[in-house]
Chains A and B, each alone.
Chain A
C-alpha cells in the first residue's frame, strides 16, 4: 500500500509542497492559516528545542478511515492503492465525516449552493498513472517522501535507530487510529502538531461497529420478547374478563368484542367541539 513519510526535522518550511498541491488540485492561492476547503495541505510552525519546527498538516489516509465508516452512503472510501477518496455525486451533505475525523481534516464548502467535502485525495489520479504524490515530488529536502508503506516504516525505524536523540521514539501513524498511510517522525510532541496522542490503537470504526453489530440479535430477542408479552398479557386479560375481574386497573366491558374494542366507531365524531 502506498504511503507518505513526513519527517519534520528535515522540513525547511519552503512551501514547495503547498504550491505543488495547489497546482495539482487547481486551487487558488490563499493566506489562510489553516486547512480550508481550498487548501489541502499547509506548513505550520511550532516551538521546538532548538528554535522553530516546521510541520505539515494534511489528510492522514487512515488504513481504516473513520470518515469512510461514518458516511451513510459510502461517499468516502479507501482505495486498494491507499488514498481515501470522495465521491461528491452521492454525498448527502450530512457532514458526519467532518464531525468524526479524529484529525479534523475534511472541510466543507460552507457558502456553495452544491457544497462538497474537500480534502487531500493523496493524488489518487497520479498514483493511478504510476507517479508519486505531487507534494512528495516537489519537496526539495526529502522531508516528505512517498513509497510503499512497509518500506517507509523500515526507513523510519532506521532513522530512529541512527539518531535516537533527534526524534521522539515513535512513528506516528504506525498504529494510531488503527494505522495511517501518512507516517510522521518528529522532534516535538505530536500533539503540538495537531496529531492526537490519545487515539486508540484499534481502528476507530470499531467503536460504532461493535454496537451496530449487536442490532440483529437485539431485534431477534426483542421481537420474541414482545410477542411473548403480547400473548401473555392478552391471555391474562382474557382470563380476567372471563372471571369478571378488572385487568390493568380498568373495567373491561365483557360484551365488547376485540374488533370493536380496537378503535372508535367511524361515525363517532366530525369536528371538535369549540
Chain B
C-alpha cells in the first residue's frame, strides 16, 4: 500500500513537472501572452501573486525563529532553527526562479544593482531580497560546511551569526512590508477592502503569522515524509505566538476598515469601481477572514493544542487564509477596476505547482543529506524526543 501511494505521488509530481516545463518553454519561445492569461489590464498574475507575494511570506519563519533564538536567546527554539533556515533559503531561491520566468526581460535583472531608482518600492524589494538571500545562504552554509567537514568555515560563520540574524530581521521587515507598499500606488485601482495606507504593516503581521504556521505545517509534512517531527511542546508554544500575531493582524485589519469607512463593502455594498458588483469581493474578504480567524479560536482550546493532527490542520488553515489574502490583494481586489476577471492559465498553474514540487524535493534532499534536524541544546544526534507525527 505504501509503495502504491509513493508511486502515485511520483507520477503526479512528474506530470506537474512536465506541464511546468512545457509552460516555461512556451513562455520563452512565444512570449508571456502565449503561456499566461496576463494582459494589459491584468499585468500581474499568479506568478507575482502566488510565487512572489506568497512565497516570500511563507518563508518568513526564517527571520522570526532565528531572531527569537539568536537575538532574544530563546534557546528552547534552537532545535527548529535549521529546518526554518532551510525552508526560508529554498523559498527565496524559488522566488527568484519564479521571477525569472515572470519578468519580461529577466536577463536585465542585474541592472537593478547599477541603475538605481530609490523612489521605487520595487527597487527596495529587489535589493532587500538580494541581500536577504545572501544572508540566508550564509545562515544555511554551516549545514553544508559541516557535511563537508570544513570546520574553519563553520567556525567563521558561527562567529558572525548574531549580527547576521539581526541584519536578516531588518531586511525581512523591510521587504515583507514593502510587498504591501507595492500596492499603495493603486488608490483608485485596488478595492477598498484591500487598499489601505497600512498595507505594509498588515503584510508584516500576516507574514510573521504564516511564517510560524509554516514551521508547524512543515514539521507535520516532514513527519509524514520521513518520520521526523519537531518537538511537540515547541510547536504548541509556537502556535500560541502565531495566534497572538493573527489576533493583532485581524484587529489592525478591522480597525483600519472601520476607520476608512470601508466596512460596508464587507457586507456586499457595491458602488465602487465600474463593475458595480460587490458580492464577489465581500465573499472573498470573508473567506480570507474566516480562514485566519478560525485557527485563533481552535488554538485557544487546550484540547486542540494537545492534538498533533489538529494543530497541523490549524497551521494548514492559516496557510490557506494567508494565500487567499495575498491573492485577494493581487488579483481579486483589482478585478473591478480592471474590468476583466483574471484567472491563471493551466500553464501558469503548472509552472507554479512545479516550483512547489521542486521546493519540496530540495527540502527532502537537504534533510536527507545535510545535518538539518538535530537537537543542539543537548548535543545529541537528531532523534526527536517526541515524534509527534511519526505514527500518523
Residues of B within 8 A of A272 (CB): 226, 228, 367-369, 372-373, 382
Given contact pairs A96-B122, A212-B119, A263 touches B379 in the complex (Cβ within 8 A):
no
Q: In the complex, what distance in Å separates the CA atom of A227 from the CA atom of B149?
A: 32
Q: Would you call A261 an interface residue if the criterion is a C-beta within 8 Å of the partner chain's C-beta atoms?
A: yes
Q: In the complex, what distance in Å separates the CA atom of A271 from the CA atom of B76?
A: 25
Q: Would you call A205 an interface residue if the criterion is a C-beta within 8 Å of the partner chain's C-beta atoms?
A: yes
Q: Would you call A199 an interface residue if the criterion is a C-beta within 8 Å of the partner chain's C-beta atoms?
A: yes
Report yes or no: B184 in contact with A237, Cβ–Cβ below 8 A.
no
Q: Would you call B185 an interface residue if the criterion is a C-beta within 8 Å of the partner chain's C-beta atoms?
A: yes
> Using a CB-CB cutoff of 8 Å, which residues 6-39 of chain B contact chain A?
28-34, 38-39
Residues of B within 8 A of A114 (CB): 105
Report yes or no: B43 in contact with A98, Cβ–Cβ below 8 A.
yes
Residues of B within 8 A of A227 (CB): 166
Q: Would you call A30 an interface residue if the criterion is a C-beta within 8 Å of the partner chain's C-beta atoms?
A: no
Cβ-defined partner of B34 (8 Å) among A111, A200, A261: A111
Q: Would you call A70 an interface residue if the criterion is a C-beta within 8 Å of the partner chain's C-beta atoms?
A: yes
Cβ-defined partner of B76 (8 Å) among A93, A223, A248: A248
Cβ-defined partner of A110 (8 Å) among B33, B111, B112, B151: B33
Q: Would you call A69 an interface residue if the criterion is a C-beta within 8 Å of the partner chain's C-beta atoms?
A: yes
**Closest beta carbon of chain A to B273's beta carbon, Å:** 11
Given contact pairs A115-B32, A222-B173, A212 touches B146 in the complex (Cβ within 8 A):
no
Report yes or no: A247 in contact with B73, Cβ–Cβ below 8 A.
yes
Report yes or no: B169 in contact with A249, Cβ–Cβ below 8 A.
no
Residues of B within 8 A of A247 (CB): 73, 75
Interface flags for A222-244 (1: CB within 8 Å of B; 0: not) read 11001101100110110000000
Query: Chain B, interface size: which category?
Result: 35 or more
> Using a CB-CB cutoff of 8 Å, which residues 106-152 of chain B contact chain A?
106, 108-109, 111-112, 115-124, 126, 142, 145-146, 149, 151
Residues of B within 8 A of A98 (CB): 40, 43
In the complex, residue of chain A having the shortest beta-carbon distance to the beta carbon of B158: A262
Among A91, A102, A198, A208, residue most surrounded by chain B Cβ atoms (within 10 Å): A208
Report yes or no: B371 in contact with A264, Cβ–Cβ below 8 A.
yes
Q: In the complex, what distance in Å separates the CA atom of A255 from the CA atom of B122?
A: 49
Report yes or no: A215 in contact with B124, Cβ–Cβ below 8 A.
yes
> Using a CB-CB cutoff of 8 Å, which residues 161-209 of chain A contact chain B?
196, 198-200, 204-205, 207-209
Report yes or no: A102 in contact with B188, Cβ–Cβ below 8 A.
yes
Residues of A within 8 A of B181 (CB): 208, 211-212
Residues of A within 8 A of B382 (CB): 268-269, 272-273
> Using a CB-CB cutoff of 8 Å, which residues 56-99 of chain A contact chain B?
66, 69-75, 90-96, 98-99
The size of the chain A interface, using a CB distance under 8 A, is 78
Q: Which residues of B contact A (CB under 8 A)?
A: 28-34, 38-41, 43-44, 67, 70-76, 103-106, 108-109, 111-112, 115-124, 126, 142, 145-146, 149, 151, 154-155, 158, 161-162, 166, 169-170, 173-174, 181-182, 184-189, 200, 226, 228, 367-369, 371-374, 376-379, 381-383
Q: 5 pairs across A/B with beta carbons < 8 Å?
A: A91-B108, A106-B40, A114-B105, A208-B120, A233-B71
Closest 10 CB pairs of A and B: A93-B104, A110-B33, A73-B115, A111-B31, A72-B122, A72-B123, A93-B105, A98-B43, A233-B73, A74-B117
Q: Which residues of A contact B (CB under 8 A)?
A: 36-37, 66, 69-75, 90-96, 98-100, 102, 104, 106-115, 196, 198-200, 204-205, 207-209, 211-212, 215, 218-219, 222-223, 226-227, 229-230, 233-234, 236-237, 247-250, 252-253, 256, 259-269, 271-274
Known: A99-B44, A226-B67, A266-B151. 17 other contacts (CB 8 A): A72-B120, A90-B111, A92-B112, A94-B103, A102-B188, A110-B33, A110-B40, A111-B30, A113-B29, A113-B31, A198-B188, A204-B185, A211-B121, A230-B162, A266-B149, A267-B149, A271-B369
